[in-house]
Amino acid sequence: MMKTLKAVVLMTVVSAAALATSGCSMAQKGAAGGGLAGGIGGAIVGNNWVSAGPATGAVVGGSSGAAIGGIAGDAFDQVNEKDMERELQNLRAELLNKDNELAQLRQAGAKPELAAQLESARKRLADLENELAMARSEGDRASTLKKDMAAMSNEAATLRKRLRDAENDKNRVSSEADNLDREAQGLRNRISAKEKAMADLQAELAAKSNALDNLKGEMQVLQTSLSGKTDEMAGLEKQLSDMNVKMEQTSRGLTLTIADSLLYDTGRAELTTDGEELVGKVATIIKERFPNNELLVEGHTDNQPIVRSGWHSNWELGAARALTLLHELVNDQSIAPGKVSAASYGEFRPASTNATADGRRQNRRAVIVILPEQIPFERKNLAQAN
């Protein structure tokens, strides 16, 4: 009997060693280990179980140990839920078979210790089923966590996209703000320039307003002066008219026209006594009223040809009479010689028609032109003579 026990133990040890080095699952390895332990225990029990014997104990113990070892090994096997369920069903069927074998053995007079071992195996199987339920619950929680993590990942991706969009919007808004700042600065510069121009214009308008006020004052003075001059000129005109001297305001200046009959004899260039007296009165008026003006003495004739007076033409007669009047103003009336000049127009600037005696009488005349006062100016040479 000892030889038989040793043979069973040796056989189970070899089988366990072979399975331990193979690529079996944890359930298979656990079954092998359980069979080893059960075989040893069964042989020991069979040795004490006279009616069964060591061989029968080894077989029953090996099978029961294999079932229990498979259940234990299954707890360490990382397989999916369907594989675990399938192995659990196989274990339950095998346990049922062992229950039937045990019932048969009991009928044959099995000892109570084997029943206790079987009950322990059932309890372990119940514990494993509880652990399987807990593992399933943990799997459900893991699946829920995976779903939550997937949702959170999607939400994170959405938030990252919103963040990128927000950054882009921020950059765009910042760029637009920079552009608006530049435009606002340009507008401020333009407004500043406009305000400066407006201030300059207002200053210019104020200066012109002051100048206008001054001009108005000057115009008022001039109007007053002109009013006085008008009254004065009216008195002068009357005074000269009483002397048969005609006064006119022309583009050349103020002209004093004296009929030749008041100054000269017919065909003569010398002043008569009455003519000298009349020139003296006119010279007095000129010196009093126009002391700074230059004078131009003009000689004019009619178009009648020279017959008996001996003049070559009316040019010479007009020039001689103008020069006689000039000498009277300078030599006898003390007019500054630098302010007096003479000219002869002969018959070529008539005051009236030469077709009538009255017209010819008007054309025979001496004219003193009182030239306007000249404004001093800088003399410039426009051409240099060689």
pLDDT tens-place values along the chain, 386 residues long: 444 444 544 444 444 444 444 555 544 555 555 555 455 555 444 444 444 454 555 444 555 555 545 554 554 445 566 777 787 888 888 888 877 877 776 666 555 666 677 788 788 878 878 877 887 787 777 788 788 888 888 888 998 888 888 888 888 888 888 888 898 999 889 998 988 898 999 999 899 988 888 888 877 776 666 666 677 888 888 999 999 999 999 999 999 999 999 999 988 999 999 999 999 999 999 999 999 999 999 999 999 988 787 898 999 999 999 999 999 999 999 999 999 999 999 999 999 999 999 999 999 999 999 999 876 656 666 666 65
Give the DSSP H or E segment for 175.
helix 112-242
For 119-163, the DSSP string reads HHHHHHHHHHHHHHHHHHHHHHHHHHHHHHHHHHHHHHHHHHHHH
User: d(Cα 262, Cα 278) in Å, to the nearest integer?
Assistant: 8
**Residues 39/61, Cβ–Cβ less than 8 Å:** yes
CA 331 vs. chain centroid, Å, equals 85
Q: 26 burial class (0-12, 13-18, 19+ CB within 10 angstroms)?
A: middle
Rounded CA-CA distance 8/336 in Å is 175
Task: Measure the CA–CA gap between 294 and 336, rounded to whole angstroms.
Answer: 9
d(CA 43, CA 49): 9
Say how far apart CA 122 and CA 288 lie, in whole Å. 162
What is the reported pTM? 0.43
- Sorted by where each starts, the structural domains of the chain and their CATH numbers stand as 2-154 (no CATH), 243-370 (3.30.1330.60)
